[in-house]
Amino acid sequence: MAQGVTITYWQYEFRSKVEAINELIRRFEAQNPGIKVVHQTFPYDAFQQKVAAAIPAGQGPDVVNLYYGWAPTWVKAGYLVPLPDDWMRRLDQDFVAMAQAAKVGGKLYGVPTAVRSLALFYNKDLFRQAGIAGPPKTWEEFIAVGQKLTVKQGGRFTQIGYGIAPDGQDHHLVREVLVRQFGGKPYSDDGKRVLYQGEAGLKALSFYTDWVRKHEIGIPGFFPGNNGYRDGFIAGRIAMIIDGSFAIGTIQQGARFNWGVAELPLERPGGRKANFGSFWMHGLTPLATGPKREAALRFLAFITSEETQRYWLEKVGELPASKNLIRDPKLSLHPIYGPFVLSLAYAKATPFVDEAAQRKVMVDAINRVLLQGMDPAQSLRLAAEEEQKILDQFWR
């Protein structure tokens, strides 16, 4: 290895992740005496802004951590370079299926250490008090439980059964979970066409918005603030939420009651399973040239190795991205990780090309129905048109 190469790694600030990377860098540098890794972090809100400005100025990271959904916009604007071909083989062989979303236009732009999926968190104490035996297995049961656990006084709710959050995880729930469970597909296989405007999509959006409009098992914005649905659950005022595995740590720290996790309910017993998977990945920027590129690839291999993934699970609590590791029964039978791990087998990552804009399309589709009383069919049609434009714009 060349002497004295220094590479820079960037991620956003999240304590356990920052500590984990610091430790991993220490181990990596011990194994690779010629390479020094500089670790820089930024607040989440400022992260993309820093990247946007720093890389054109030649001052940014060589290896960068990014949400998989950002990759296409970053690639198009020249912020990421493709990984060598042997990495593509490694990804196909060793990583869970959703990691395929790290490819853009047939080239691979990043590799994850960990992945996430969605599951149902439920308040066991509230369930027991209401005489409910266990988590709902179907949406029908889910609605019945939700109604039982919703308390309304006058016009105001004091407790709700389900933490409705269109701008939390629910836009994923509608798009990736309900549409598929109802027999549809949100997008064409190449990700270039919106398909959710069909029958299954309409059923999904109508069904979801009925939780508020018809069944009254929840209300958006019950708790204000970012991730109010999660805060409300932690405060014991919301009986059930659908959230990602990334929420486990926060809930573990905050909740002062017995809670459990279950796989997402199904349309009917034995019905089709679906889940939304997502991940943060490590990519290579155009600044990693010459000896830095070699060093950066070596670091990338190190922080995505199975050994690191095991350490990451222990330290950060995020699920490993390797097919091998998630087969471990210790993990799939774990009372909290288990439901998430089981979902990884069938979870799909939405093929975003412009994540911020596409997220908004679905959030708005839901809000037009919930807040303006628009007919779900009309709202969905508007959303599909808008999103198709975004896809066409990207792929033209």
Partner 1 sequence: MRLTLAWREALWAFVFLAIPLAFFLYFRILPAFQALWLSLYEWHADPSQRRFVGLEHYARLLEDPVLRRALFNTLLYTLLGIPSQIALGLVIALLLQRVPFGRDFFRAIYFAPYVTPAVAVAWVWSWMLSPHFGLVNELLALLGIPPQPFLQSPSQALPTVTWVVVWQNLGFQVVLFLAGLESIPRQYYEAARIDGAEGWRLFRHITWPLLNPVLVFSVVIGTIGYLQLFTQVVNLNFTDQGGPLNSTLTLALYIYQLAFLRFQLGYAATVTVLLFALILLITLVQLKLLTRRVEL
Q: Which residues are CB-contacts of 204 (< 8 A; sequence separation ≥ 6)? A: 174, 175, 178, 179, 181, 182, 184, 196
Nearest CA among 62, 86, 130, 129 for reference residue 295: 62
First to last CA, the chain: 42
Cβ closest to partner 1, residue 65 vs residue 181: 65
Per-residue contact flags (x/-) with partner 1 for residues 263 to 292, judged by CB under 8 A: -----------------------x------
Tokens of 105: 């236009």
Residue 2 contacts partner 1 per CB under 8 A = no
Binding-site member from 41, 48, 308, 350 for partner 1 (CB under 8 A): 48
Q: Which stretch binds partner 1 (CB under 8 A): 18-26, 47-55, 115-123, 129-137?
A: 47-55
Binding-site member from 40, 158, 252, 324 for partner 1 (CB under 8 A): 158
Binding-site member from 262, 336, 345, 357 for partner 1 (CB under 8 A): 357
**Cross-strand partners of 37:** 7
Tokens of 262: 């279950």
Binding-site member from 3, 31, 253, 372 for partner 1 (CB under 8 A): 372
Q: Which residues are CB-contacts of 273 (< 8 A; sequence separation ≥ 6)? A: 181, 263, 264, 266, 343, 346
Cβ closest to partner 1, residue 72 vs residue 320: 72
CA 258, CA 70: separation in Å to the nearest integer?
Answer: 36
Q: Is 291 exposed, middle or buried (0-12, 13-18, 19+ CB in 10 A)?
A: middle
Residue 151 contacts partner 1 per CB under 8 A = no
Q: Which stretch binds partner 1 (CB under 8 A): 15-23, 156-164, 180-188, 291-299?
A: 156-164
Cβ closest to partner 1, residue 14 vs residue 157: 157
CA 382, CA 384: separation in Å to the nearest integer?
Answer: 6
Residue 52 contacts partner 1 per CB under 8 A = yes
Cβ closest to partner 1, residue 169 vs residue 343: 169
Q: Which stretch binds partner 1 (CB under 8 A): 23-31, 128-136, 163-171, 275-283?
A: 163-171
Please report, as residue ranges, which positions from 76 to 115 form the binding site for partner 1 (by CB under 8 A): 76-79
Binding-site member from 92, 128, 356, 378 for partner 1 (CB under 8 A): 356
Q: Which residues are CB-contacts of 313 (< 8 A; sequence separation ≥ 6)? A: 114, 319, 320, 325, 331
In contact, 37 and 299? CB cutoff 8 Å: yes
Residue 150 contacts partner 1 per CB under 8 A = no
Q: Which stretch binds partner 1 (CB under 8 A): 52-60, 187-195, 264-272, 335-343?
A: 52-60
Residue 376 contacts partner 1 per CB under 8 A = no
Residue 221 contacts partner 1 per CB under 8 A = yes
Q: Which stretch binds partner 1 (CB under 8 A): 218-226, 271-279, 313-321, 331-339?
A: 218-226
What is the smallest separation between the CB atom of 48 and partner 1, expressed in angstroms? 5
**Cross-strand partners of 159:** 151
Tokens of 377: 């069919």
Residue 236 contacts partner 1 per CB under 8 A = no
The alpha-helical segments, DSSP class H, found in the chain are 15-31, 44-54, 71-76, 85-94, 124-129, 139-148, 171-172, 179-181, 199-213, 228-234, 248-254, 291-303, 306-315, 323-326, 329-332, 337-344, 355-372, 376-395
SS3 content of the chain, % helix, strand, coil (to 5): 50, 20, 30
Cβ closest to partner 1, residue 154 vs residue 270: 154
Residue 222 contacts partner 1 per CB under 8 A = yes
Residue 387 contacts partner 1 per CB under 8 A = no
Q: Which chain residues interact with partner 1 by CB under 8 A?
A: 48-49, 52, 55-56, 73-74, 76-79, 154-158, 165-168, 219-227, 286, 354, 356-357, 360, 363-364, 367-368, 371-372
